[in-house]
Amino acid sequence: EIVMTQSPATLSVSPGERATLSCRASQSVSSSLAWYQQKPGQAPRLLIYGASTRATGIPARFSGSGSGTEFTLTISSLQSEDFAVYYCQQYNSWPPWTFGQGTKVEIK
Amino acid sequence: QVQLQQSGPGLVKPSQTLSLTCAISGDSVSSNSAAWNWIRQSPSRGLEWLGRTYYRSKWYNDYALSVKSRLTINPDTSKNQFSLQLNSVTPEDTAVYYCTRDAVAASFFDYWGQGTLVTVSS
C-alpha cells in the first residue's frame, strides 16, 4: 500500500498570502494525484486531478504541481473561504487508493 | 448536475450489519464510464476508500483488502442507486461514510454524498 504523507499538519497563513502544501508518496504515483478541500461538516471537494489539472469550477488561485513522489498544492492568495483541511490522494497503485492525513490551513 | 443522496441508520450494534444507500441523480449507476464508490472517514483512520461498483457490459466490484471479507456493494438499476453492506461491525467501523462518483473510473472522486455518521455501539 502506498503511504501518502502531507506536511505541514497545520499551516497558519494571513488572508491574501500564499500557501504551499506538500504531499509525498512512499513510491512513485506518476501524475495520478488528486487534491481535495474539506470544510467542517462537509464532504471533501475535488480541487485538482492529474497532479495539476483544476476540476470544474475551481478558481485559478489553486494550482498543483509535481510528479513521481513529490507534489505541491499552492493557493496563490488566500481568501476567507479557503481556510479548510486539504487532502492529497493517489490513484496510481491499487489496491487501495490512499489519502494523506491532511493539512489544516488556518488563519494567522 | 450530479447529486448523491445518502440514507441509512446512524447507529448500528456490534456484530450487526451496517447498510447504507446512495441515490443518484444527474447520472446513471449503469454508466459505461463512471464508477460508484464508498469511502469512510474517522479520526483514527483518516479517509479510507472501501470499494466500488461499475458497469462495463457487465457488473464489476472492487474492495479494499481491509474490508473485503465483510463488504458488499450492490447496484440497483431500478432505483438508480447503489448500496453498501458491511457485516460483523465493531466500534472500529464507527466513521462518516460517503458515497462518491469517479467520472471516468480513473479513481479520483468528483462528486460526493453528504456523508452519514455511523456509530457502532450497543
Model pLDDT, residue B107: 81
Give the closest of B63, B64, B114 to A43, CB-based. B114
Element counts in chain A: helices (H) and strands (E): 0, 11
Q: Do B110 and A95 touch (CB under 8 A)?
A: no
C-alpha cell at B95: 466513521
- In angstroms, what separates the C-alpha of A43 from chain B's closest C-alpha? 6
According to DSSP, the residues that pair with B22 across neighbouring strands are: B6, B82
CA dihedral B11, B109, B82, B62 (to 10 degrees): -100
C-alpha closest to that of A22 among A31, A32, A35, A3:
A35
Q: Do A43 and B48 touch (CB under 8 A)?
A: no
Question: What is the DSSP secondary structure assignment for residue B49, as one 8-state letter?
Answer: E
C-alpha closest to that of B34 among B54, B51, B9, B63:
B54
For A15-45, what is each residue's pLDDT tens digit?
A: 999 999 999 999 999 999 999 999 999 999 9
- In angstroms, what separates the C-alpha of B11 from chain A's closest C-alpha? 18
Distance CA A31, CA A27 (A): 12
Model pLDDT, residue B89: 97
For B72-115, what is each residue's pLDDT tens digit?
A: 999 999 999 999 999 999 999 999 999 999 987 778 999 999 99
C-alpha cell at A28: 512513485
